[in-house]
Structure 1
Amino acid sequence: MSALDDLAPVPFHDADDRQRARMLSRLADTELSVALLREPAHDQVELQIFDLDGVRMALACDAEDRLADFFGHSVAYAALPGRVLAGLLKADGAGLLVNPGHPSEMMLDAAMLDWLTGALVAAPEEAEARLRLTAPDAGVAADLSDALAERLADLRGLVAGAALVGVAGAGHLGAGHSGAGHLLVIAGAPVDRQPAIAKALAEALAFLPPQPGGVDISFSDTAPPPGALLFDLTPPAPEVEAPRPKGPPILR
């Protein structure tokens, strides 16, 4: 079972929108082995494109042995992150078949890849305002908690923790918002890594159901308000081996 398989308790095309979005988000960050027509030459790759029911598709798996098993023999391949492969195929107008015969099998047509690449350009909006932080709405917390915990776990060791809070303050989300929404506050993040962290989290939010007022991302080490949804990312303490009992005394 792979990380993508773990997100597929039901087949991708039978899953609800939320589950499919989680799988696509994980796919974007997964290194895929994509079948090639021939070995790469001078960093140039030529994808194998198949005609499946009139739809042009490339074929990729999240492990090279899965790709070889599908063909029944070794095959030329390139290892590319899902987000890079989606961009290449979008430019070519082709789709992508992922992990055929496995729990995480996905057949993504050109329209789905277009949506995926659009979601991956999501970026947090910068805004300045006086905000009043509150506990998050229970429904919003329920919608976002699992997916945010999964994404934040990828950042363990880079950030100390996070909190989802409610926020009130006119204009905090820019034009078109009502002035009340939510904020994901990140603690303990190095300043030079904050833009990349914000981008990764904005991508994750782009794959989740839209929330009233939106969800912004901020960095602060101040204590969150009572009732905030907390994500503790402190690395676990190393296990200390219990001292062994001393043996019986040696008699002479």
Structure 2
Amino acid sequence: MTALDDLAAIAFHDADSAQRARMLSRLADTELSVALVAEPEGDRIELRIFPLDGGPVALACDGEDRLAGFFGAPVAYAAMPGRVLAGLLRQEGVGLLVNPGHPSEMLLDAGMLDWLTGVLSAAPETAEARLRLTAPSPATIEALAEPLAARLADMRGLITGAALAGVRGEDGPKAHLLLIAGAEAGHQPAIAKALAEALAFLPPQPGGVDISFSDAAPPPAALRFELSPPEPSPAERAKAPPRLR
């Protein structure tokens, strides 16, 4: 079982929109092995494309062993994050078949990849305002608490705290605010983009959810996220995305 499989208690195409969005969000951050026509030549690759009734697709798995298992033998492949592969395929107008024969199997057509890359490229707007904060609405807590906790856990070491608060309206929260503490100024744009991206995959909330950086104590009624210290890991050399031939 893989991280994608863990989210696929219900098959992707049978899941509701919120669950599909969570799987797509995880797919974007998952390293995929995509089948190639031949071994890469430097930074150039040629994807193996399969003609299906719904249009041509590339084939990728979240592990080279799964890819080899599908073909019955080792095959040439390139490894890259799902977000990078989605961007490459969008340029070519090609869809993507992921993990065929496994719980997390999904078939994403070119239109779905176009939507996905649009979400991944969206940048949050910046603004300043004085807000009256209160407790988040129960419905928003139910919809966002678990997936936000998982995404914030990935940011341990970059932030020291996080809380979800409501923005007070006449009859309860009219919007919500995700408060982030302990982020260095140079990291804040990237953190804001990652969180805005995560929120884009979740059920929309009335009034939306904005992101704010503040080291001040959150309001007592806010929902606080517990962040444990990160485990040390060896540094990896950044890889440039491959170029299609």
Q: TM-score, normalised by structure 2?
A: 0.89
Q: How many residues align?
A: 228
Cα distance between partner residues in 1 of 2:193 and 2:162: 15
- Cα distance in 2 for partners of 1:94, 1:221 equals 45
1:14 is aligned to 2:14: yes
Distance 1:121 1:168 in 2: 30
Q: Give the match for residue 66 of structure 2.
A: 66
Query: What CA deviation, in whole Å up to 9, does each residue of 1:128-149 have, x standing for no partner?
Result: 1111111111111111111101
Alignment correspondent of 2:134: 134
Asked if 2 retains the 8 angstrom alpha-carbon contact of 1:29 and 1:81, the reply is yes
Give the match for residue 248 of structure 1.
none
Q: Which has the larger radius of gyration?
A: 1
Aligned-residue CA RMSD in angstroms? 1.6
Once the two structures are superposed, residues 56-92 of structure 1 have per-residue CA deviations (whole angstroms, 9 ceiling, x without a partner) of 0100001011101110111000011101111111111
Q: Structure 2 unaligned runs (5+)?
A: 232-245
Q: Which of 59-68 and 226-235 deviates more?
A: 226-235
CA contact (8 A) 2:136 2:165 kept: yes
Could you list the per-position Cα deviations for residues 98-148 of structure 1 after superposition, in whole angstroms to 9, with x for gaps in the alignment?
A: 011111001001111111111112222111111111111111111111110
Q: How does 1:108-123 map to 2 (within 5 A)?
A: 108-123=108-123
CA distance in structure 1 between the aligned counterparts of 2:23 and 2:225, rounded to whole angstroms: 21
> What one-letter code is carried by the residue in structure 2 that aligns with 1:113?
L
Task: Please name the residue that 1:203 is paired with.
Answer: 197
Give the equivalent residue in structure 1 for 2:212.
218
The normalised TM-score by structure 1 is 0.87
Distance 2:183 2:109 in 1: 37
Question: For 1:39-188, what aligned pairs fall within 5 Å after superposition?
Answer: 39-168=39-168, 180-188=174-182
Q: What is residue 240 of structure 1 aligned with on the other side?
A: none
Deviation at 1:54, TM superposition (A): 4.5
SS of alignment partner, residue 136 of structure 1:
coil
Amino acid at match of 1:129: A
| CA–CA separation in structure 1 for the residues paired with 2:45 and 2:230 | 42
1:236 CA displacement: 8.0
The CA distance in 1 between the partners of 2:116 and 2:54, in whole Å, is: 22
Contact kept in structure 1, 2:156 and 2:230, CA below 8 Å = no
CA offsets per residue over residues 178-220 of structure 1, 9 Å max, x none? x931110011112221111111101000111111111111111
Paired with 1:50 and 1:236, the residues of 2 have a C-alpha distance of 41
Q: Distance in 2 between matches of 1:107 and 1:198?
A: 29
